[in-house]
Structure 1
Amino acid sequence: MQGDIFLCFGGALSVDKAHRIPGLSWWAREIPSEEEFACAIRNARDFIATGGRIDAVLSHTAPWFTMKFLKEYLWCGKSTPDKTSEYLERIFELVRPERWYFGHFHGDKKFYAHGCDFYLCYDEILKFKD
């Protein structure tokens, strides 16, 4: 892990917000803004342009293309398009990390897709790397 570079990006759509309390367990700004996304993309591009490599991503949710691997965790077995997942898919295309860690779906699962190890993290504690 020493020397690894991480990109972090939060946010996700709460599909259960009807069961949550505004300001206590749900917040109106749960989805990142276009400006926040643009800032993340700009910073990643600038870093890569200088020869940098982003080894892993830490996010709350995952890129949209990963939903087919997460069917057992999706609300009522379905998912709706989430702007954050769309943003993360664009970040994935730019960064192409080796590893991606996320937790939005409250489960533990590892899968491999598009040349990347994805880790859905909830109860299991993971060691990033020796």
Structure 2
Amino acid sequence: MIYITGDMHNDFRRISNKNLKKNNIPLSEEDYLIVCGDFGLCWARDRTFEWGCNWFAQTKFTTLWVQGNHENYDMIAEYPLEEWHGGKVRHIVRDKVILLERGQIFNIEGKSFFTFGGASSHDMQGGLLDRNDPDFDFCLKYARNNWLPYRIIGESWWAQELPSEDEMQEGLNNLKAVDYKVDYVITHCCASNLQRLIKPNYKNDVLTDYFQQLEERLDYKHWFFGHYHEDATDEENRHTVVYKRILPIEEVD
């Protein structure tokens, strides 16, 4: 069975044996859990990362995920691209934690999935800081003193959070090959028009506009995404934003 959940930010208590049992979610060796971005395992090569990898290596189920905007893209790029179930992936923990790359189509349990991770970071009211900037210390102190969220380039923010032209074109090429028809879409953010309804203060970007174009061309059953820290399904039962819920995919068919 395939399950869907949202942002974890390197906090995996949601899928602990205790919590799964409490919520009667029997994830087994044959099950997949798809995380719609901001998984957070790949953030820094430290003891937390080592512990996380060891923990996932012992899980029964397989975790699949797309990139969010809270990911270390330089760290992710260290893992080689491989083929898996029809698309490109990166095995973070062999056969247990698998990144589904952008613009790919996967066939899993007889269902087709179009995946495209990434999103803009909106929590930077304190600025996007660069350690090479001579004013870095001043800007950092200002942000901290005023309790303003900030990001540091190459440490907590990466430009790769938004896709390249090549990645977007590869997605279009792969969709064209299947006549723009898939069962499910898995992303981190959503199309511009829908985002405007969920978060009116969030600005459109190259990725939300790309998804808006796909909305007008793509034939799909359901679109799952995270990013907005909400759990809701639209009235048409076509889009589900997931955060803390763990949903069997059959529930929304």
TM-score, normalisation: structure 1: 0.81
Q: Aligned partners of 1:87 and 1:79: how far apart in 2?
A: 16
Where in structure 1 are there 5+ consecutive unaligned residues? none
> Residue 210 of structure 2 aligns with which residue?
87
> Residue 103 of structure 1 aligns with which residue?
226
Partner SS state of residue 152, structure 2? coil
Q: Aligned partners of 1:112 and 1:43: how far apart in 2?
A: 29
Structure number with higher strand proportion:
2
Structure 1 stretch displaced more, 21-30 or 53-62: 21-30
The answer to whether the 8 Å contact 1:69/1:111 transfers is no
Partner SS state of residue 45, structure 1? helix
How far 1:35 moved relative to its partner? 1.3
1:2-57 deviation line (CA, Å, top 9, x unaligned) = 321110001111111432333343211111011110110111011127xxx30110
Q: Aligned partners of 1:5 and 1:24: how far apart in 2?
A: 35
> Residue 5 of structure 2 aligns with which residue?
none
Equivalent residues, number: 120
1:55-110 deviation line (CA, Å, top 9, x unaligned) = 1100010011212431xxx2xx5121111110111122222311000001111111
Q: CA RMSD in A?
A: 2.0
Find 1:37's aligned residue among 168, 171, 178: 168
> Residue 129 of structure 1 aligns with which residue?
250
TM-score, normalisation: structure 2: 0.44
Runs of 4 or more consecutive aligned structure 1 residues displaced over 6 Å after TM superposition: none
Identity of aligned residues (%): 30
Structure number with higher helix proportion:
1
- Residue 5 of structure 1 aligns with an amino acid whose one-letter code is S
- Residue 45 of structure 1 aligns with an amino acid whose one-letter code is K
Q: Aligned partners of 2:156 and 2:221: how far apart in 1?
A: 32
The residue correspondences of 1:3-18 to structure 2 (distance < 5 A) are: 3-17=110-124, 18=127
Q: Aligned partners of 1:81 and 1:98: how far apart in 2?
A: 24
Bigger radius of gyration among the two? 2
Q: Aligned partners of 1:32 and 1:95: how far apart in 2?
A: 19
Structure ranking higher on relative contact order (CA contacts 8 Å, 6+ apart): 1
- Residue 57 of structure 1 aligns with an amino acid whose one-letter code is V
Where in structure 2 are there 5+ consecutive unaligned residues? 3-108, 128-149
The answer to whether the 8 Å contact 2:224/2:242 transfers is yes
Q: Aligned partners of 2:172 and 2:111: how far apart in 1?
A: 19
> Residue 67 of structure 1 aligns with which residue?
195
